[in-house]
């Protein structure tokens, strides 16, 4: 039995699916409880980000939140900034990917090429929107916000979606909206995309392309924004630093 068939067997196994559903539900319950009781001061956007990250990746998303997203973390680090950053991208791209695959297969009955193109386009759009929107809210001009988002997010989104979409197409095959494999392959592929894009975000932050999301411990004392200066303010003019994650 090959890897593809083995994964398909797992992803269509009723016992596995039932256990996974319970684990995701419990993970979401813990997240909601902690956000309400211990981290209510987090910005609403990041609550949205963590909610979708846990919805798509279950306990992995919850561990990422516990490690990097709570106000109770004892110190910030590149690794924590990287996970907050990739989760920010993941929440938007994941939504776009779910919509893209569903529309391409269910509405238009596209073949593989059409599925890939439409899914990537919507994933990129939603991931891009998740960066442009907050920039505009912070008072950044439209032109600068559009460029900053393009400059800082394209590499992360591209790697995430290449891995996620190719995995989904490989596993789901000809499965349709009414097939369990269609949905389980999609969820599985999303998590692989998250893992693939994490080191990309670490590198982008390390080399000044992205600033990294604000440290959550400061959310109760700041109105928003990020801690890293923009390219006009940095002492290294050769590096353009995005306003956002």
How does DSSP assign the chain, residue by residue?
Answer: --HHHHHHHHHT-HHHHHHHHHHHHHHHHHHHHHHHHT-TTS-HHHHHHHHHHHHHHTHHHHHHHHHHTSTT-S---HHHHHHHHHHHHHHHHHHHHHHHHHIIIIIS---HHHHHHHHHHHHHHHHHHHHHHHHHHTT--HHHHHHHHHHHHHHHHHHHHHHHHHHHHHHHTT--TTSHHHHHHHHHHHHHHHHHHHHHHHHHHHTTS---PPPGGGTTT--S--SS--TTTSS-TTS---S--
Query: pLDDT, tens digit, for every residue of 106-163?
Result: 999 999 999 999 999 999 999 999 989 888 878 899 999 999 999 999 999 999 999 9
pLDDT at residue 1 in the model: 81
pLDDT at residue 241 in the model: 52
Q: Which two tokens stand for residue 78?
A: 């590149």
148 vs 226, higher pLDDT: 148
Query: pLDDT, tens digit, for every residue of 87-120?
Result: 999 999 999 999 999 999 999 999 999 999 999 9
pTM here is 0.88
Query: pLDDT, tens digit, for every residue of 2-44?
Result: 999 999 999 999 999 999 999 999 999 999 999 999 999 998 9
Query: pLDDT, tens digit, for every residue of 32-76?
Result: 999 999 999 998 999 999 999 999 999 999 999 999 999 999 999
Please provide the distance, in angstroms rounded to a whole number, between the alpha carbons at the two ends of the chain: 42
pLDDT at residue 162 in the model: 98
pLDDT at residue 106 in the model: 93
């Amino acid at each position: 039995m090959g890897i593809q068939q083995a994964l398909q067997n797992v992803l269509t196994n009723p016992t596995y699916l039932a256990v996974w559903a319970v684990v995701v539900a419990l993970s979401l319950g813990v997240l909601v409880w902690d956000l309400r009781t211990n981290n209510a001061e987090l910005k609403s956007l990041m609550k949205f980000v963590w909610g979708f990250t846990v919805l798509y990746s279950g306990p992995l998303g919850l561990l990422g939140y516990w490690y990097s997203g709570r106000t109770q973390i004892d110190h910030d680090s590149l690794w924590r900034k990287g996970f907050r950053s990739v989760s920010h991208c993941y929440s938007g791209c994941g939504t776009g990917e779910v919509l893209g695959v569903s529309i391409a297969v269910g509405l238009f009955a596209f073949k593989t090429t059409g599925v890939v193109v439409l899914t990537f386009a919507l994933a990129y759009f939603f991931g891009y929107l998740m960066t442009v929107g907050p920039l505009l809210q912070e008072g950044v001009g439209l032109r600068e916000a559009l460029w900053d988002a393009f400059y800082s997010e394209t590499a992360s989104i591209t790697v995430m979606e290449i891995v996620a979409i190719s995995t989904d197409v490989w596993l789901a095959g000809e499965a349709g909206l009414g097939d369990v494999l269609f949905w389980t392959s999609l969820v599985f592929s999303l998590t692989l995309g998250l893992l693939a894009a994490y080191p990309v975000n670490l590198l982008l932050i390390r080399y000044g392309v992205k600033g990294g999301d604000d440290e959550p411990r400061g959310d109760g004392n700041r109105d928003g924004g990020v801690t890293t200066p923009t390219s006009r303010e940095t002492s290294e003019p050769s590096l353009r630093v995005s306003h956002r994650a």
